[in-house]
Each structure stands twice: as structure tokens, then as C-alpha cells.
Amino acid sequence: MSNIVAIVGRPNVGKSTLFNRLVQRRDAIVDAVSGVTRDRHYGKSNWNGKEFSVIDTGGYTVGSDDIFEEEIRKQVNLAIEEADIIVFVVDVEEGISPMDEEVAKLLRKVKKPIFMAVNKVDNSMRDANAVEFYNLGLGEYYTISSINGSGTGELLDAMVEEM
Ligand code: GDP
Ligand code: MG
């Protein structure tokens, strides 16, 4: 079995919250404060009878913006190498940030299935705000709330179709 799903994205978009929901285990550290050194976390999950591993690429270090971005770039490249499927998480509350654009740029070159998850869509009023993420050039996206679980079923349905 080698279905590996990597969750990537800039800090604070909700990667670890999504990871915790997918693996139904509070393994990753959810932290409202950015700039904490953290390791990568691995978990197991299954959906519609398909088993898969999930990587939460949370680990990053305090530093200047340059070091910070370099660290994220490293994490994303590692995830791209290791994963069969990539979930790119962005945040509807913040909208598109320069760091999202950096990550999207890396992902646009990748031949593996990429699922863009617009997170923090906690209510349907936020659906409309998600359209700006089309500008990242990755096509279709899934609106989800990692906190209340809405939309995550549709995302998982689409993900396991690729396994
Ligand atoms: P990470 O740095 O990408 O791993 O992000 P975290 O999972 O640590 O979450 C960062 C912050 O966003 C935390 O305060 C979470 O509670 C919050 N958060 C995560 N998912 C959601 C969501 O679906 N809705 C809202 N409103 N907040 C969320
Ligand atoms: Mg995290």
C-alpha cells in the first residue's frame, strides 16, 4: 500500500487541523502562533475502503522571511517527492498571500494529482469569497472547513478516486 497524501501550504492555513480530521487522531500540533519549530507528522487514514498515509508538513523554523520561505519551499519539495497526492491548503479568511503564490508556482510544475482546499469556509456565505483562488492557476478547488468538517467528505471522495 503506497497511497501517500501530503498536506502543504503556508503557515496558519489549517493544515494540522485538516490532518487531525483526516487521521481522526490528535497527532499534529495545532498552533495559532506561527514560528514554532515542528516536525513532520504522519498518520493513517481510510475512506471508502481505501487506506492511505497522510503527511502534515508543519515543521518550520523561526527566522527571517527569506529563511522562512526557504523552509516552506523545502517542505513542499520534499512532500512533492514523497507523496502520490498533494493537498494544497489555502485560507479564505486571509485570501491569496505572496507565499500562497510561491507554493502554487512550485505545484504548477508537478505532474501528480493536486487538490486545492480552500479552508475556513465555515459557512456558505464564505463560498463566494473562494473564487479568487482560481487566480493561483491550479484549476478547480474544494471549499472546506477543517474545524467543522464541511466539504471534507467531497474532498476525500475526489482524493480516493485517484488511488
Ligand atoms: P497550520 O499552520 O497550517 O498547520 O494551521 P493550524 O491547523 O495550526 O491552524 C491555524 C489556525 O487556524 C488555528 O487557530 C486553527 O484553529 C484555525 N483553523 C483551522 N481550520 C479552520 C477552519 O476550518 N475554520 C476556522 N475558522 N479556523 C480554522
Ligand atoms: Mg501545522
DSSP per-residue string spanning the chain: ---EEEEE-STTSSHHHHHHHHHTS--SPP-SSS------EEEEEEETTEEEEEEE--------HHHHHHHHHHHHHHHHHH-SEEEEEEETTT---HHHHHHHHHHTT--S-EEEEEE---SGGGTGGGGGGGGGS---EEE--TTT-TTHHHHHHHHHHT-
pTM of the model: 0.90
Find where cell 482524493 sits: 159
ipTM, 2 decimals? 0.99
Query: Does residue 46 surpass a pLDDT of 50?
Result: yes
**For residue range 62-88, what is the model confidence (pLDDT) as tens digits?**
455 666 678 778 888 888 898 999 999
Cα separation, 22 vs 51, whole angstroms: 11
Q: Do the strands 85-91 and 41-47 form a parallel or antiparallel pair, or are they unpaired?
A: unpaired
Distance 55 CA to ligand 2 centre (A): 11
Q: What's 4-161's CATH class?
A: alpha beta
**For residue range 89-138, what is the model confidence (pLDDT) as tens digits?**
999 999 999 989 999 999 999 999 999 999 999 999 999 999 999 999 99
Q: Can you give the pLDDT at residue 37?
A: 41
Distance 31 CA to ligand 2 centre (A): 7
Q: Which residues surround ligand 2, an ion (CB under 5 A)?
A: 15-16, 58
Nearest ligand 1 atom to alpha carbon 31:
8
**Average pLDDT, whole number, for the chain?**
86
Share of the chain above pLDDT 90, in %: 63
Which among 73, 71, 67 has a CA at the least distance from the CA of 59? 71
Rounded mean pLDDT, 31-50: 69
